[in-house]
């Protein structure tokens, strides 16, 4: 079983490997974990302990559709060079990248790039497709007549609520990296570069792949909101959710690690069941 591992922002493959030691030591020794660094040098990520040495990386230079597509291209290059892989494990930004990439491959290429995904403390996934969330962003960036306020549509309400609970709060807490200019979502903003935050009500379909979602009970509320949104874009029938007692980190306690492994085993068994079905 070969698993591709994607680190969080302002981190590295080496750091994620150290964070995952309890998990890696508890799984079957035949499992192989392959860690890759993001292509962009980055400042130390939010919450990164001072004793952790750089360099630090990001999987993306930003979150516009073009920048997310660039991150997908780099990820696909790593898969071509180092794969194939049975599954993907993504932590924080790495989890969001994995889900965004899986969604794009499913919608555009009608394929599953992995058999299963293990997503830990995901931040908000962003789409590489400019047509996603198009109605909401078009309404938000349209010039406004000061004498007439246009009625707010459902898409716009969903999108603005998602912004306020996730990226706006992360920015307020200096935990948004790379930063997102929220002015792009205001009247007159450049809709072409506005990040397409992924929400289950605004996408064409849900991810139809076995996924396991892990979050820390003591993580920040805006991080939990991001993880909830990430889980929401996955088909509920093929998803399992777990909590551990820590914060924004992979689980460390033996019992909690074992629970994640059981959930991963379930995802692997589900992947074998659905492998013969078309997307």
- Which of the following is catalytic: 72, 155, 248, 271? 248
Catalytic residue among 129, 132, 155, 219: 219
Go through 216-226 and write b for each residue having 16 or more CB atoms within 10 A of its CB, e for each that does not: beebbebbbbb
Q: Are the beta carbons of 158 and 199 closer than 8 angstroms?
A: yes
Whether 219 is catalytic is yes
**Of the candidates 180, 256, 161, which has an alpha carbon nearest to the alpha carbon of residue 218?**
256
Is residue 199 flagged as an active site residue? no
Output the six-digit token pair for 67. Answer: 């920048």
Residues in the chain: 279
- Is 248 an annotated catalytic residue? yes
> Which position among 92, 121, 122, 227 bears the catalytic label?
92
Pairs from 247-250 (Cβ < 8 Å, separation ≥ 24): 247/47, 247/216, 247/218, 247/219, 247/220, 248/47, 248/92, 248/121, 248/216, 248/219, 248/220, 248/223, 249/19, 249/121, 249/216, 250/19, 250/20, 250/22, 250/23, 250/91, 250/120, 250/121, 250/214
Catalytic residue positions, numbered = 92, 219, 248
């Amino acid at each position: 079983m070969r698993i591709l591992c994607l680190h969080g922002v302002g981190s590295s493959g080496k750091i994620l490997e150290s964070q995952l030691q309890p998990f890696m030591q508890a799984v079957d020794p035949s499992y192989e974990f392959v860690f890759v660094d993001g292509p962009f040098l980055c400042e130390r990520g939010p919450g990164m302990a001072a004793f952790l040495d750089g360099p630090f990386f990001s999987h993306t230079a930003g979150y516009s559709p073009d920048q997310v597509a660039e991150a997908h291209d780099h990820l696909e290059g790593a898969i071509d060079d180092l794969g194939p892989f049975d599954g993907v494990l993504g932590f924080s930004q790495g989890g969001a990248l994995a889900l965004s990439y899986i969604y794009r491959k499913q919608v555009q290429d009608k394929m599953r790039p992995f058999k299963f995904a293990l997503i830990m403390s995901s931040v908000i996934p962003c789409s590489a497709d400019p047509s996603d969330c198009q109605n909401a962003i078009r309404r938000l960036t349209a010039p406004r007549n000061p004498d007439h306020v246009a009625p707010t549509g459902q898409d716009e309400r969903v999108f603005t609520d998602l912004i306020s609970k996730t990226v706006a709060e992360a920015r307020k807490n200096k935990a948004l990296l790379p930063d997102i200019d929220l002015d792009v979502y205001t009247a007159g903003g450049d809709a072409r570069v506005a990040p397409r935050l992924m929400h289950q009500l605004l996408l064409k379909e849900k991810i139809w792949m076995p996924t396991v979602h892990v979050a820390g009970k003591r993580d920040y509320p805006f991080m939990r909101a991001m993880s909830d949104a990430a889980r929401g874009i996955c088909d509920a029938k093929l998803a399992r959710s777990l909590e551990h007692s820590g914060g924004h980190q992979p689980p460390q306690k033996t019992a909690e690690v074992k629970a994640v492994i059981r959930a991963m085993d379930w995802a692997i068994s589900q992947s074998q069941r659905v492998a013969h079905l078309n997307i």
